[in-house]
Structure 1
Amino acid sequence: MASSSSPFLSLLLLIPLFFFFFNSANAKRSSSDGSEEWGYVQVRPKAHMFYWLYKSPNRVDNGSTPWPTVLWLQGGPGSSGVGLGNFVEVGPLDTNLKPRISTWLQKADLLFVDNPVGTGYSFVEDQNAFVKTDEEAAIDLTTLLKALYKSDERLQRSPLFVVAESYGGKYAVTLGLSIVKAIKARELKLKFGGVALGDSWISPEDFVLSWAPLLRDVSRMEIVGAEKANSLAEQIKQQIANGQYEEATAAWSNLENIITKYSNSVDFYNFLLDSDQDPVSTTTLSMTMGTSMNRYARYLSSKADSSNGDIDQLMNGVIKQKLKIIPKNVSWGGQSDLVFSALSHDFMKPRIAEVDQLLSLGVNVTIYNGQVDLICATKGTEAWVQKLKWPGLQNFNKIERKPIACEGVVGTKGFVKSYKNLHFYWVLGAGHFVPVDNPCVALKMLSRITQSPASAS
């Protein structure tokens, strides 16, 4: 936990001291005390990716258990890890620039990126430079990692864990395979700890098929609406099987409209709520591809707004002034809709095979899901896990879950089970954004995943 004297409170100062390095491809700055580093890496011509690295004040240098680094990947596609993951979910400060009690810096160094290019502060100079596939996004991220790790011995000694949320899970598994390949080719000097997939959009088919049955189970829909939703979900399943991914994306948008209509506007990120209880959830039936991504970003923004911190004003105001490196013509999140549109062909494409490949390569794969999430419902996650061809799945299924408790809090807060390199966490009371809704279990999970030498929370 960051104290009131935390170096990260330098964010409050508009004129801190910086060290500055710049060339035609990359620009980098750091705080005067070295606790933060941020900058741009030109991952391709006319494509610039922004990153922000925080070095934990809780770091323990233990030869037998090295201090970990977590790379956080936001979803959307087109939502900003540097803004949302950082200031709304797990970074050292909240949107009021106050210390976050549950910051993940307690357990690891944190690396936030605005991925793919065009997200957050990242930008392209030509719209042809937007990525069109998850694999292209992974290549860009690998290029970023190569630039950061090339001459940084501290990073090289620190095992890297890729933790993703929502659509970020698709980036995580494609990046994981790219990292393994680059390490094997000796192009990347990095200790790869594994991937963690939080409420991740790994198999769109299984999620859309789960929506109506789940909502009927919790009395949020009845037979008329459920039949309409199930019929369209089956159509989406067939479109995915036929490789008609853009058509499936359009049908997915229509399906969300049906769910909204027949559930009286259920909150897609917490099915116990109405969207007007979280006013940035589904509030209209006339959705387009980009508005779902906007809903995702606005939902997290509402978490910030509830504590009187406006994330958009923050990122385009005091934070942009602090960083002193963002081009004047670049606004935070200004190209996000275009990012979503560019990925419309890949949006509904499953990535179960990539999870299988990671498991077969011996890479640690953690899956975690919030109990009351709808859009990436646990019911759907459990369904795609059962499609894995990994030989250890049968034994994984036979293992009993272990309960998770939080000190000073009555009741069970989650469950976990593991077999070899596959781990699954059920996080009770949490919706789509687990670190926000159940920070205690999220921290416990992070500590176990990374084997952080920091004392348990």
Structure 2
Amino acid sequence: MDVLYCPLTLLLPLLCLISLHVGSAASITTGTADGSELWGYVEVRPKAHLFWWYYKSPQRMSTPSEPWPTVLWLQGGPGASGVGLGNFQEIGPLDVDLKPRNSTWLQKADLIFVDSPVGTGYSYVEDDSLFVTTDWEQATDAMTLLKALVKEVPTLQSSPLFLVAESYGGKYAATLGVAVARAIRAGELNITLGGVAVGDSWISPEDFTPSYTPLLLSVSRLDDNAGDEANKRAETVKEQIVAGQWAASQKSWGDLLGFIATKSGDVDVYNFLLDSGMDPVSSVDTSTGSSLSNLQAKNSVQALMYATYLGSQDSDSNTIDGIMNGAIKEKLKIVPKNLKWVEVSQKVYNALVNDFMKPRINEVDELLSYGINVTVYNGQLDVICSTNGAEAWVQKLKWDGLKSFLSLPRQSLYCGQSKGTKAFVRSYKNLHFYWILGAGHFVPADQPCIALSMIGSITQSPAS
């Protein structure tokens, strides 16, 4: 059954102040009069503020026979806004026209969006020295946020929490997942970690980078001459990663993407069937009119490609930038007036230069060793975080169930009334892998039906 939501313009009169708290982590929380939405700020460090937004599912039963799950969505970039992009362009209750989304994940779980790390979206710092420089620093801030949310969102104490991430957000999910698991085991956090899901996630740059050339050769976006040079460039990236030359490897990786853009007819690295700028969720820098793939060759931010890929989904009547700095900011009321929301913070991206290319395979292994459910899902058409690359890093896991996992056949998955296979899944114990057909980097936007079905399975939602 579709979730019914009033257009945001009708919700505006219903707003009321729910609470204002100052405690161990200074916070401010407001929401709708009926409590179906809560949002606020948590000062995770002095002068460093994280913004969050919680939606209570209308399908949550008052006395469910099974616990109703909560999904905490972690956007990538790094520096991309989950409160904006993930919410209004992928899985939230409303789209950029502020109309109901038929495929909202709110049908299967409560949702929490967070603009993380600090400086992303509506989150902000009062001093630029407070930007995080590592994934683990992000995890520390997010843990402070979670501890505050357990008090602010009453359902969290009884609701299994699932960390679901996309793109660079997968590195956040891995580190935060480990931090949460350790805190629970130490008795420092009273929640249930239901699982961690990483979608098209940048878990191991060393494995993704060499996958680009063979993939693009196989789909005729590169020829052998360009392929040889691209392979050489990819090998340079790998050598620099092995040597721990993190910033240099990121620059070489950017140069590789620029070379691929030039030789592939400007292929969209989020969907190899398309050119940059064509994807429905691409890479035209609206401020300059330049192809972001070409800007990448000048070592611009990959994160900006990410934002514009999603931004091209905006309708003629509304844009994500327009609503986040207009109607949404007006609704929320607590966003500082001088704060301008942007899809991706370049400052946040740049601050992670020495961590961007580091892998997080060990963190995934640690989660598996605790018995926590880990799900990997990947879009078939993605290049930047290709399925081949995801398969490669999974095969590096030291988890004792890996051999059995790899030996199992996949199961075909279908969706609704549509014909044909929509995905494959393989599961063994607490590791699950979904191959999503016909999807690029942004699975929920490209294949909303199977993505909704998948999240229902991951969370074991009573509504599934």
TM-score normalised by the chain length of structure 2: 0.94
Among 11, 19, 22, which residue is 2:20 paired with? Answer: 22
Residue equivalent to 2:245: 244
Rounded Cα–Cα distance in structure 1 between residues aligned with 2:330 and 2:299: 32
Counterparts of 1:51-450 in structure 2 under 5 Å?
A: 51-61=52-62, 64-150=65-151, 152-278=153-279, 279-280=282-283, 282-287=291-296, 288-305=298-315, 308-333=317-342, 336-450=345-459
CA contact (8 A) 2:257 2:293 kept: no
Instruction: Give the distance between the partners of 2:233 and 2:108, measured in 1 at CA.
Output: 44
Residues 436/22 of structure 1: CA separation in 2 closer, same or farther (3 Å cut): same
Shift in Å at residue 60 of structure 1? Answer: 2.7
Q: Alpha-carbon deviation of 1:304? A: 2.2
Shift, 1:9, TM fit: 3.2
Q: Quote the offset at 1:379 in angstroms.
A: 0.9
Any idea what the Cα deviations from partners look like across 1:214-267, whole Å, max 9, x if unmatched?
000111101111111110111111111111111011101100011101101000
Is the Cα–Cα contact under 8 Å of residues 66 and 157 in structure 1 kept in the other structure? yes
SS of residue matched to 1:349: coil
Contact 2:207 2:389 (8 Å CA) reproduced: yes
Secondary structure at the residue paired with 1:303?
coil
| One-letter identity of the residue aligned with 1:295 | M
Q: Secondary structure of 1:285's match?
A: helix
Contact 1:107–1:447 under 8 Å retained in 2: yes
Provide the C-alpha distance between the structure 2 equivalents of 1:138 and 1:256, rounded to a whole number of angstroms: 29
Task: Measure the CA separation in 2 of the matches of 1:137 and 1:124.
Answer: 13
Change beyond 3 A, Cα 1:419–1:430: same
- Partner letter of residue 300 of structure 1? L
CA contact 2:57–2:110 (8 Å) conserved in 1: yes
Corresponding residue for residue 288 of structure 2: none
What amino acid is aligned across from residue 250 of structure 1 in structure 2?
K
CA contact (8 A) 2:395 2:402 kept: yes
Corresponding letter in the other structure for 1:362: G
60-69 vs 249-258, which moves further:
60-69
Q: CA separation in 2, counterparts of 1:334 and 1:226?
A: 33
Which amino acid in the other structure matches residue 16 of structure 1?
L
Query: Partners in 2 of 1:333 and 1:144 — Cα distance?
Result: 22
Residues 335/47 of structure 1: CA separation in 2 closer, same or farther (3 Å cut): farther
The amino acid of 1:261's aligned partner reads T
For these two proteins, the number of residue pairs brought into alignment is: 452
Corresponding residue for residue 7 of structure 2:
9
Q: Is the partner of 1:196 in helix, strand or coil?
A: strand
Query: Deviation string for 1:297-335 (max 9, x for gaps)?
Result: 111111124x64300011000100000000111111387
Gaps of 5+ in 1: none
Q: Where does the alignment leave 5 or more consecutive residues of structure 2 unmatched?
A: 285-290
Q: Secondary structure at the match of 1:93?
A: coil
What letter corresponds to residue 451 of structure 2 in structure 1?
A: A
Contact (CA 8 Å) 1:38, 1:52: kept in 2 or not?
A: yes
One-letter code aligned to 2:142? L
Kindly indicate whether the alpha-carbon contact (under 8 Å) linking 1:142 and 1:175 is maintained by their aligned counterparts in 2. Answer: yes
Q: Distance in 2 between matches of 1:91 and 1:145?
A: 20
Measure how far apart 1:186 and its partner are: 2.1
Say which SS state the counterpart of residue 50 (structure 1) adopts: strand
Separation of aligned partners in 1, 2:198 and 2:11: 35
**What's the secondary structure of 1:138's corresponding residue?**
helix
Q: Following TM superposition, by how much is the alpha carbon of 1:406 offset from its aligned partner in structure 2, in angstroms?
A: 1.3
Cα distance in structure 1, aligned partners of 2:317 and 2:208: 33
**Contact 1:403/1:415 (CA < 8 Å) preserved in 2?**
yes
Q: Structure 2 vs 1, CA of residues 66 and 3 (structure 1 numbering), >3 Å: closer, same or farther?
A: closer
1:299, 1:183 → 2: CA distance? Answer: 37
SS at match of 1:193: strand
Partner of 1:304, secondary structure, is coil
Aligned counterparts of 1:236 and 1:191: Cα–Cα separation in 2 = 39
In 1: Cα distance, 2:81 partner to 2:152 partner? 27
> What is the CA distance between 1:283 and its match in structure 2?
4.2
Aligned-residue offset at 1:3: 4.9
8 Å CA contact 1:79, 1:119 repeated in 2: yes
What letter is aligned with 1:285? N
Show the counterpart of 2:287: none
Deviation at 1:428, TM superposition (A): 0.3
Question: What per-residue deviation string (whole Å, max 9, x for no partner) do you get for residues 9-54 of structure 1?
Answer: 3454444331243356211101011100000000001100000000
Instruction: Give the RMSD, CA atoms, in angstroms.
Output: 1.6
Cα gap change, 1:152 to 1:102, in 2 (>3 Å): closer
Rounded Cα–Cα distance in structure 1 between residues aligned with 2:29 and 2:299: 34
Tell me: CA distance 1:125–1:395, structure 2 relative to 1, closer, same or farther (3 Å). same
